[in-house]
Amino acid sequence: MDSIVSALVFAFVRTKSTKDIYVPVINTVKQDLPLRTDVSYLFAKLGLDVNTLTFVDEVDFQTDGNEELVLVDHNRLSGSQEALSDRITQVIDHHVDENLYTKVNRKIERVGSCASLVVETLSSQ
């Protein structure tokens, strides 16, 4: 849940506070979302229609253009996504730092949740 909520909040606030458009991409295949019962429960309680969200299997990053990527709640792309590493512009994470993407803005601290770091990052921008 931390990664999904962090991505949604980061994208929403940055889109509202800048002239750029941030689209949160849920790094889960859409049909697998019901397996995430915590997230499904939260979305149902909030009345959030999952069809308004973008899932990783709905985006073809290879042909869709030059989108920039902000990683939240992880600091390493999965093997199948590694070709996108040159598009990363920012990393916000609370896991062990794998020392990748060192030329971009990084906030990697061992705290309880990535959401805490997202709030800190957004508050300071």
pLDDT tens per residue, range 13-49: 999 999 999 999 999 999 999 999 999 999 999 999 9
Segments of the chain assigned E as strands: 25-26, 54-55, 69-72, 88-93, 105-108
- State the pTM of this model: 0.92
Question: What is the Cα–Cα distance from 26 to 28, expressed in whole angstroms?
Answer: 5
Quote the percentage of the chain above a pLDDT of 90: 88
In the predicted structure, residue 64 carries a pLDDT above the cut 70: no
For residue range 74-92, what is the model confidence (pLDDT) as tens digits?
Answer: 999 998 899 899 999 999 9
Would you state the structure tokens that stand for residue 39, as one six-digit string? 């997230």
CATH code given to domain 2-124: 3.90.1640.10
The domain ranges of the chain are 2-124
Question: What is the Cα–Cα distance from 97 to 75, expressed in whole angstroms?
Answer: 7
Cβ atoms 3, 114 nearer than 8 A: yes
